[in-house]
Amino acid sequence: MSIAPSNPLLLRQLQPFVVGTADNVGCFDMQPFGLRVEDTHVFDPLRLASAPFLDRLCALDAAAFGPEGMPMPRWIFLDGGELTGGVVGFGLAADALPAPWREALCVPDDHVGLVPVSMYIAIPTAESGAWVGHNLSSLAARVRDPALRGLGSLTKAVALRLLRTRTQIGAAQWDSPALRVHARLGALEVISAWTPAHGKPWTVTYRARIDEPALLHLARDPRGAVDFPAPSLWLASDDHAAMGMLQDRIEAGERFRFAGRPEPLEGGGQRIPLAEG
Amino acid sequence: MLSDARALEGLSPYLVATPALQARLTERPLGLAVPRGHCFDPTRRASAPFLSRLEQLDQVVSGPLAMAMPRWAFYDCAELPGLVCGFASSAGSVPERLREVWPLEARNGPVPLSMCMAVPMLQRDRWLAYVLCDLHEALPGATPPPLRIPSLALACDLTGARRMQGVTQWSSSKLAALASFAPLSLRAAWVPAHSVPATCVVEFDAGAAAIADALAAPQRELAARPRWLDVGDPSALEMLQRELEAGAEPSILGAPRRRGGSRVVPLSPEAWEPA
């Protein structure tokens, strides 16, 4: 099946890329939703020629998360994603970059070839088809441009398809706008609601079952659909005490799922609908 | 399986992994029981104090090299997809000097003295070990004997990996620990994708016989007359990388050693002809 995101500019303007070792790329679906990944847009992190493009991935990470975010040390890009799994995203030729995009991404004047504007980094697990998604970056987080609307969602959907994902595990802060993207996959199961193992304990660890309607919904394709249960409680994204209580209930054996997408609150933050069971 | 059990006297293995992964792992790695109190689920609150100690261990060893891992990366890149394992002492038996350098927040529970992170790769039965350290590295003489080789062996046996990949800097003492599993197939010799391009990526047999060999005789004699690679010479490393990309299949045959003023690594002789 093809994919038709509600913002048609994305696929008209941008081209998919993959970073992965030759062994890993051989396991991927290199025509996700019928999109073709050009051979020149496949980058092996163990090859010298990939270095300029990988530099640009670091720049994208820095631009997307900003100085207040969690920029990833360069070696963690390699050890934590490029070697074990893959990086999938969209880019645009350097000579076609609009000036504000070029500036936000700190693209050097002499850079030629593809410049990444979004990426999804995923690490495999021991369960076949189950991946941990650990970074979703989009230039749309930094540059307000209608041409980029929905880029993060589309990137994640295409990446999950390309990686042949059946289950996705992820971690995000309860107050992160990215949670609205992740929740487009449907009724995410909450694995942890308060996570001291993370640098930011107000992190939710979730698990999503992946199927085609959910991926299309994630990509904002009108043909996509997901089901949510009716909400039985709402969690405010700044209510750490409630997160701790939720965690206690999870550790006691109760289960919770997302019952919809987070709703932004006036004055900042968001509230998240949840359902028991 | 451990040839020198005295080296591990008073220490026990520990494991950090999700319950789903724990269920897939070897029950008695290296023939050792992992005490129930030494198994940690990273998604549970009770694991937090031990995970903080792992972070402290990493800070002590990797901090001076500017390669300490952020706490979120421990979680996202190791504890959720894979595992962290190693050997731990009880808090009460941690040597006094170690207490001075590394103040403990609590006086009970296990204290990790070594750490190996392993993450599954896409190919079945292949894993990547990408952090391997012990306190002996940072504080020689203050701690139990070197624990990196037993910790790597523990990871190999726990995971049941047939092939293990490793990443390290050519200048790192970690290479000697990896070399206990030699021959190491070299996958990359100069890696601009890494913060330190003078990094190598290797792959080795991680089966039971390889583990036993590594534990029994970590510093084996070289069977063949090797070519010596000066790992302090970036141009030699980059040239070797170009050979790899052209199809060469070199192996590291043993641990690095000093020759003259240089640190050299023995490579399989057919591997590399300097230009």
Cα angle vertex B94, ends B91, B96, to 5°? 125
Is residue B89 in a domain?
A: yes
Nearest to B155 by CA among B33, B13, B11: B13
The arithmetic mean of pLDDT across residues A81-92, rounded, is 95
Tell me whether residues B24 and A200 touch, CB distance under 8 A.
Answer: no
What per-residue confidence (pLDDT) applies to B1? 59
Residue of chain A whose Cα is closest to the Cα of B80 = A132
* Strand pairing report for B257-259 and B83-90: unpaired
Residue B116 exposure: Cα atoms within 13 Å on the Cβ side: 29
For residue B197, is it within any domain? no
pLDDT above 70 (res B7): no
Q: How far is A196 from chain B (nearest CA, A)?
A: 6
- Tell me the mean pLDDT in the region A42-66: 91
Look up residue B140 and give its two tokens.
Answer: 């020689």
Distance in Å, alpha carbon of A8 to nearest chain B alpha carbon: 33
A76 or B100, higher pLDDT: A76
Domain that holds residue B42: 5-161
Q: What share of chain B is helix, strand, coil (3-state, %, to 5)?
A: 35, 25, 40
**Any domain includes B132:** yes
Q: What are phi and psi of B273, to 5 degrees?
A: -115, 115
ipTM of the complex: 0.93
Domain total in chain B: 1
Domain ranges of chain A: 1-165, 172-196+212-277
Distance from CA of B97 to the nearest CA of A (A): 28
Q: What is the per-residue pLDDT for B187? A: 96
- Tell me, what's the pLDDT at B42? 98
Find chain A residues with C-beta within 8 A of B121's C-beta. 24, 83-84, 124
Least-confidence region, from A140-149, B22-31, B97-106: B97-106
How many angstroms separate the Cα of A244 from the Cα of each of A204, A251, B73? Answer: 11, 10, 22
Question: Is some CB atom of chain B closer than 8 A to the CB atom of A36?
Answer: no
Nearest-CB residue to B75 (from A85, A124, A171)? A171
Q: Indicate whether B87 pLDDT > 80.
A: yes
Determine the Cα–Cα distance for residues B70 and A199; give it in Å rounded to an integer: 7
pLDDT at B155 > cutoff 80:
yes
For B211-252, the DSSP string reads: HHHHHH-SSPPPSS-PEEEETT-HHHHHHHHHHHHTT---EE
Evaluate the omega torsion of the peptide bond into residue B183 and state whether it is cis, within 30 degrees of 0. Answer: yes
Question: Which of B70, B121, B195 faces A84 most closely, judged by CB atoms?
Answer: B121
Q: What is the percentage of chain A residues whose pLDDT exceeds 90?
A: 87
Q: How many whole angstroms separate alpha carbon A5 and alpha carbon A216?
A: 8
Kindly report, residue by residue over A175-189, the tens digit of the pLDDT: 999 999 999 999 999
Q: Among partner residues B24, B130, B192, which is closest to A79 by beta-carbon distance? A: B130
**Distance, CA of A113 to CA of A92 (rounded, Å):** 8
Distance CA B272, CA B231 (A): 14
C-alpha closest to that of B199 among A19, A25, A51? A51
pLDDT at B275 over 50: no
Nearest to B248 by CA among B206, B201, B186: B186
CA gyration radius for chain A? 18
Position with higher pLDDT, B119 vs A74:
B119
